[in-house]
């Protein structure tokens, strides 16, 4: 896990190159490291009933770029953190392909 600095991102953006990131949370929720665990804890407390995965454009603000594709994942009562992590990773594997496809289509236009 790395945070890309504006010094790194600015020349890339100026060159018209898109950078995308996979993040195991919905837009605006649980930015940064440990997102799955934080969502699982919030679910156990009854604060949320779902989380998700997003592929987003990378900007200087961590996990705040425009979402390319998002998929919601319902939390299950009694589910362990490890079970949720496994389900999230399964969603990630498909979503990164779709997010890459959509980004490439956008670049072609």
pLDDT digits (tens, 9 = 90+) for 28-60: 999 999 999 999 999 999 999 999 999 999 998
pTM, two decimals, is 0.90
Q: How far apart are CA 35 and CA 62, in angstroms?
A: 12
Q: Which sequence positions are flagged as catalytic?
A: 23
Q: What is the CATH number of domain 6-108?
A: 3.40.50.170
Q: What is the DSSP letter of 17?
A: -
- Which regions of the chain does DSSP assign to beta strands (E)? 20-23, 50-57, 67-74
The domain limits of the chain are 6-108
Q: Which residues pair with 54 in a beta bridge?
A: 23, 70
* Residue 83 contacts residue 71 (beta carbons within 8 Å): no
């Amino acid at each position: 896990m790395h945070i890309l600095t504006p010094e790194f991102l600015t020349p890339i953006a100026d060159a018209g190159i898109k950078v995308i990131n996979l993040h195991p949370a919905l837009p605006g929720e649980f930015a940064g490291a440990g997102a799955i665990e934080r969502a699982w804890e919030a679910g156990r407390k009854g604060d949320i009933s779902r989380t998700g995965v997003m592929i987003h454009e990378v900007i200087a603000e961590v996990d705040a770029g425009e979402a390319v594709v998002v998929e919601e994942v319902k939390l299950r009562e009694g589910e362990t953190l490890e079970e949720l992590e496994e389900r999230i990773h399964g969603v990630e594997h498909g979503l990164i392909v779709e997010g890459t496809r959509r980004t490439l289509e956008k670049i072609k236009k």
